[in-house]
Structure 1
Amino acid sequence: MPGDDISFREEPVGRSPALDVLVLLAFSSFLSLWGLVGGPGLGDHEAIVPLGARQIRETGEWLIPEVNDLPFIRKPPLAFWLAAAASYVVDPPVVQPPVSPLAARLPSALAAIATTLVVYGLGRSMFGHRIGMVSGAVMAASAGTLFFSHNAQVEMVLTLFGTMAFAGFWWGTETASRRSRAIWLCYASLSLAMMAKAPMPLGTVCLPLAVWWFFVKPAVRDAAPVGASRPTYSAGVWHQIVRVGRLRPLSGIILFGLLFLPWPIYVYSNVENALYLWKIEFVDRYSGELSGRSQPFWYYLPIALALTFPFSLSLPEALAAPFRNVYREHRKGLLFALTWATIQLVFLSISAFKRPHYLIGALPAFSLLLGPVLDRLFIAARAFDRRRLHLAAVVIVLAIPVGLVLGAVFVQREYADVMRAYLVGGLLVGVGAVAGTIAFVRRRRAFSLATLCVSSGLAFGITWDAIGLSRALNGQVDTMADQLRAESIGAEDRLTWVVGRPDARLAYSLGREIQPLFSPLEVAPFREGRATIPESLVTAGADRLRRLLAAAQEEYFIIDADFWDRLRQNDGLPAREVLRVPGDEIDDTDDDWVVITNPWNTGEEEDRSGGRNRAAESTSAGQPAGTQ
């Protein structure tokens, strides 16, 4: 019945586009920069970045960065370059070793701010200034941006250059005023994205653009004069093939080659087994050889909802928006964003090796899809069914405490040490959601959207700082670092990580290098991937460990407790256990870290010299040290 509808007028919003953009810039900067000097310690993968940047500053070797004194060529060096450059700006000269967590995370924060502005600019060209502002606000306040703007991994930088490539392609093909310049932006940004994390942009940028140009764009029906016949779909595909020359592909390939190819060519020419390692990292990673178990095809669907929080409830409508008549005036832009998001999603889902952070590159596309939907919901004039509106408000208000309780159960089970921080952040999100719902029902929809954005940002920032103050997430690393110092095992002592890659957090915390028993380049020819470890590699590792322990040189090794117990029981490995640090799982001792050393090494200098003599004598007699 008409009487059951509630009519909402268009919400009054900013009247000056320039001032609006300044507000968006300030909002994004506040959210992305807050907590960079605090928060949790660097994670394992994060800490690789400052380790590589630290060795760049100490050695001056920029082209082939090193981590733990070994060439790190698994990924291109852009993340190391940016962190090293940031350390020159933000780290005082007295900081030793150089490259602080602030310097490591600052490039990601700046990339998040820049990505927000690019999303706004692309949204404005697609949908107009107001929707562009909504899309930019969604990008700035989404959980994915909030988290990865505070993460030293290269994902946010990769997202920036990927977004710039999509924006350059759209501007170069859909806006006549920017056509000559924007297509160069596309090729240059693609090259920089490859320098961030090659070869992923080939699948997450080039593939969606190709699908859009050859298959989706021919289906988009632009306005035509009345009575004019429309071309068939096949004719449209052929037309796009003919128009490829407008993309200046030859010039683009040359620019791409000049900006990206010199680095892999240089590495291939100077690092032995580089091709084997790249094959493992790229081909075997995608096919699943690097993982013992494959995640389901739908793995990224809940990840998409998590990345777009607190706007997740509108994501299904955003994905359907290109096909709804109510959004028909924005159909072309929505189809471009949908192609971007869905082809990335499919490309990543086909891979057997899945990780949550791989999907962050689709967040700008989700933000563009959400822009028109949230504009219609919170700003544009429209009518709502009274009973449905009130029912939705009641459901949201009741669902909030249920969601917070379920979240608390999960946090208590998986991350009990951060429960207090979760409760603070959850309370802020809940209060913001309730306040936003009440404001919406009272016809203050723009205020409701602002409340949603601000409350989620505040909740993240306060929770981030609280986790940092609690020092809850790196307990095993901190304990190991403290105990190594207590045992006077310092930078002058040889320290080797026995199984796999050394934990980068520990090396960063100690301010020293920790060598692996086998370098990645040594391991590469041994096997096809990491799903299974060949017995020959295990045998070679045990033999090398035995030789080092029997030598006269003082050695320390960090080894997983389960592997150490197996070697000690089955092989009678001669060694002295120095210390043992429990893992994060209290009931699982297999994750404990054990430090072992030569059997003659008691830690006292005089015992060391005597032990060296005894080791030399027993070795010359054909008897391994420590077996007498």
Structure 2
Amino acid sequence: MFRKLFSRAVAASQWWRARAVATAALAPPVALPGVGAAGLYLVAVLVLPAFCFLYGLDAFPLRDNNEGLYAEIAREMLDGGSYVVPHLNGVPYIEKPPLLYWLCALSMHLLGPTPAAARLVSAGAMLLLSLGLFQFCRLHGNFRAGVFAAAGMASALPVAVVSHVVLFDPLLTALLGGSLLCYLHSYLTRSRRAWLAAAVFLGLAIMEKGGVALVLAGGTVGTFLLLMRDGGGWRRLFDRTAVLVLLAVAGTWHVLASGMQPGFAHFYFINEHVLRFLGQRLPDDYHHGPLWFYLPRLLLMLAPWTPFLLLLLPRRGARAQAPPAIVRFCQAAVAFPLLFFSLCAAKADYYLMVALPGLLLWLGIELSQRLAAPDRLLAWCWAVSLGLAALAMFAAPAAMGGDITPPLLLVLLAAVGALALGGHSLFLRLRSVAARELALLGVAVLAGAALVPLFHAADARSARDSSVYVARILGANPVPDGAVFIYRDFEDMFSTLPFYLGRTVPIIDSASRDLQFGCRRDSGSACISAAQFLQARARGPVAVVLQASRAPEFLAMAGPGRWRAEWVGGKMVLFGGP
């Protein structure tokens, strides 16, 4: 018994020593700001992220890609569809769990079925995550690290743009980031409430995107414990109450859906998880890439803050010492997702978004430690980042509109270089910590301002990227209910049409990979053959929406008859009668 008590005392002393070292990692190297400066920074933490994530949610229509699919699923739930088995264009769609659809449906119930209401889920989740980063740093003693982490998260332009789209990844990033922050807080303070909160957030993350959330969380925590050489930390992972909470939050829907939808278990667990990772999912509807696929994308995703990553490299001549626990955790939170998604055969540009909370927390800590004295590397990083933020004001909208040319790009890059040279000298002349802090926040403000022309350019492309104008053509030329059809294509071409029409639209000879499972299990009237379309046409006037390039193919299938055409961009609407 004495040996057992002695071992517990030794373990407790080791934990308190580790906690002291970890808390010291976030201890500010300079005095906290005064009341006035603190108020200014709080405004920056609240107002800047709110602008970057909430501005422009309705600036451009829903896009004919995954955004249109997910918004339509939520609309169909509100329209009397199943809340357990999601439906897309009238047929079951079980690639992902339903949390994103539930939240979008709730938002649209409260605010109306608009793009802004659907996008509010992604944007609001990322806003809460940025505030959570700040709160975590504040609780652990470094106000400034929290300011920089929150401002960096909000003003990383690709992150802000993706957060304005109805996608799984922003909400997954927020829920998984919240779970990991709660776990780290529990690890440092032994807070049981934080540990249970981590279990709840992880359960919600699983309900948002499936088993990948459990793999990412488990892999990150496991990597962290290995880096810390903390054998006792593994035992806490299997806390009985936390496991029960996790199972209750994440398991109930899976059980219900398995009982309600035939074929769910194989399609969801095997096809969507195991076979997707191995690159053998059917149908093949994802991108492939080499092992280094995510390295340049990680650099791009952080723009214009990318140059600051140089600060995370080991300092030349500095004494080698073990990084504190929080930095170790940040390293694990970046390294494991990077390794996992690099090994995964299915790749997408935004998958590695989940690594950004750890990366920005790490960067915020490093920035807070370097501000005490002028630093040449910091000055160069700031100057180049400021130039990149200025470049985004002009180049990003032009690139989106296809108007940027190589000569124009060279001129813009030369201007960035000149601005960086001048900015480097300017930063070194800043003698106060407050002035250098404001200079860093200036990068965030300039990057946030770049969203205004960027979203304007996105709206200018809406005739090509959305079916909102096709819906307006159909509204101006009414046809009987059930007489509007889509020919062949759905995702990436007409996925927003059911949303803007407010009803499902039958697809003739569907080539949709997203609807393949649903059409096989429960086709109903959503996926029809050419013969069924010809029967509907024989009963009265019809309207057929299709790619303009498919018009000869469709007319050959439809046979003799007169058709009147209207089109917008590369999309065509054909009106015809019996």
Q: TM-score range by the shorter chain?
A: 0.7 to 0.9
2:101 is the alignment partner of 1:101: no
Pair 1:326–1:399, CA change in 2 (3 A): farther
Q: 1:337 aligns with which of 324, 330, 338?
A: 330
Identity of aligned residues (%): 22
Q: Deviations over 1:386-413 (max 9, x none)?
A: xx899x49984997699679x84x9767
CA contact (8 A) 1:40 1:471 kept: no
Q: Which has the higher contact order (CA 8 A, sep 6+)?
A: 2
Counterpart in 2 of 1:549? Answer: 534
Q: Distance in 2 between matches of 1:135 and 1:258?
A: 32
Give, as a single letter, the amino acid of the residue that structure 2 aligns with 1:261.
G
Question: How many angstroms does 1:374 deviate by?
Answer: 2.3
Q: 1:370 aligns with which of 359, 363, 377?
A: 363
Question: How many angstroms does 1:512 deviate by?
Answer: 2.6
Counterpart in 2 of 1:355? Answer: 348
Matches within 5 A, 1:66-145: 66-91=87-112, 99-124=113-138, 128-145=142-159
Pair 1:23–1:167, CA change in 2 (3 A): same
2:300 is the alignment partner of 1:306: yes
Pair 1:439–1:40, CA change in 2 (3 A): farther
Counterpart in 2 of 1:613? Answer: none
CA contact (8 A) 1:41 1:468 kept: no
Q: 1:38 aligns with which of 40, 59, 65?
A: 59
Give, as a single letter, the amino acid of the residue that structure 2 aligns with 1:314.
F
Pair 1:436–1:267, CA change in 2 (3 A): farther
Give, as a single letter, the amino acid of the residue that structure 2 aligns with 1:69.
G
CA contact (8 A) 2:546 2:572 kept: yes
Matches within 5 A, 1:15-26: 15=35, 19=39, 20-21=41-42, 23-26=44-47
Pair 1:58–1:547, CA change in 2 (3 A): closer
CA contact (8 A) 2:466 2:494 kept: no
Q: Which runs of 5+ in 1 are unaligned?
A: 1-8, 92-98, 219-235, 528-540, 585-591, 609-628
Q: Deviations over 1:521-560 (max 9, x none)?
A: 9834999xxxxxxxxxxxxx99932454256455655455
2:236 is the alignment partner of 1:246: yes
Q: 1:512 aligns with which of 487, 493, 503?
A: 503
Pair 1:525–1:44, CA change in 2 (3 A): closer
TM-score normalised by structure 2 residue count: 0.77
Pair 1:482–1:113, CA change in 2 (3 A): closer
CA contact (8 A) 1:436 1:449 kept: no
2:273 is the alignment partner of 1:282: yes
Q: Distance in 2 between matches of 1:103 and 1:210?
A: 37
TM-score normalised by structure 1 residue count: 0.72
Count residues in correspondence.
525
Q: Distance in 2 between matches of 1:84 and 1:542?
A: 24
Answer with 1 or 2: which has the greater Rg.
1
Q: Distance in 2 between matches of 1:397 and 1:100?
A: 35
Q: Deviations over 1:3-27 (max 9, x none)?
A: xxxxxx9698455897444541233
Counterpart in 2 of 1:381? Answer: 373
Q: Secondary structure at the match of 2:234?
A: helix
Counterpart in 1 of 2:13? Answer: none
Pair 1:292–1:492, CA change in 2 (3 A): closer
Q: Secondary structure at the match of 2:467?
A: helix
Counterpart in 2 of 1:523? Answer: 516
2:201 is the alignment partner of 1:189: yes
Question: How many angstroms does 1:380 deviate by?
Answer: 2.0
Pair 1:17–1:263, CA change in 2 (3 A): farther
Counterpart in 1 of 2:228? Answer: 217
Q: 1:477 aligns with which of 467, 470, 481?
A: 467
Pair 1:45–1:490, CA change in 2 (3 A): farther
Counterpart in 2 of 1:266? Answer: 256
CA contact (8 A) 1:322 1:331 kept: no
Pair 1:15–1:150, CA change in 2 (3 A): same
Question: How many angstroms does 1:459 deviate by?
Answer: 1.3
Give, as a single letter, the amino acid of the residue that structure 1 aligns with 2:401.
Y
Counterpart in 2 of 1:199? Answer: 211
CA contact (8 A) 1:11 1:445 kept: no
Q: Secondary structure at the match of 1:495?
A: strand
CA contact (8 A) 1:308 1:366 kept: no
Q: Distance in 2 between matches of 1:526 and 1:147?
A: 33
Q: Deviations over 1:239-296 (max 9, x none)?
A: 34xx533334333222111111111211121112223432333333322232576212
Of stretches 258-267 and 9-18 in structure 1, the one that deviates more from structure 2 is 9-18
CA contact (8 A) 2:390 2:447 kept: no
Counterpart in 2 of 1:158? Answer: 172
Counterpart in 1 of 2:22? Answer: none
2:455 is the alignment partner of 1:441: no
Give, as a single letter, the amino acid of the residue that structure 1 aligns with 2:358.
A
Q: Distance in 1 between matches of 2:54 and 2:389?
A: 30
Q: Distance in 1 between matches of 2:274 and 2:358?
A: 26
CA contact (8 A) 2:375 2:428 kept: no
Q: Secondary structure at the match of 2:164?
A: coil
Q: Distance in 1 between matches of 2:254 and 2:315?
A: 40
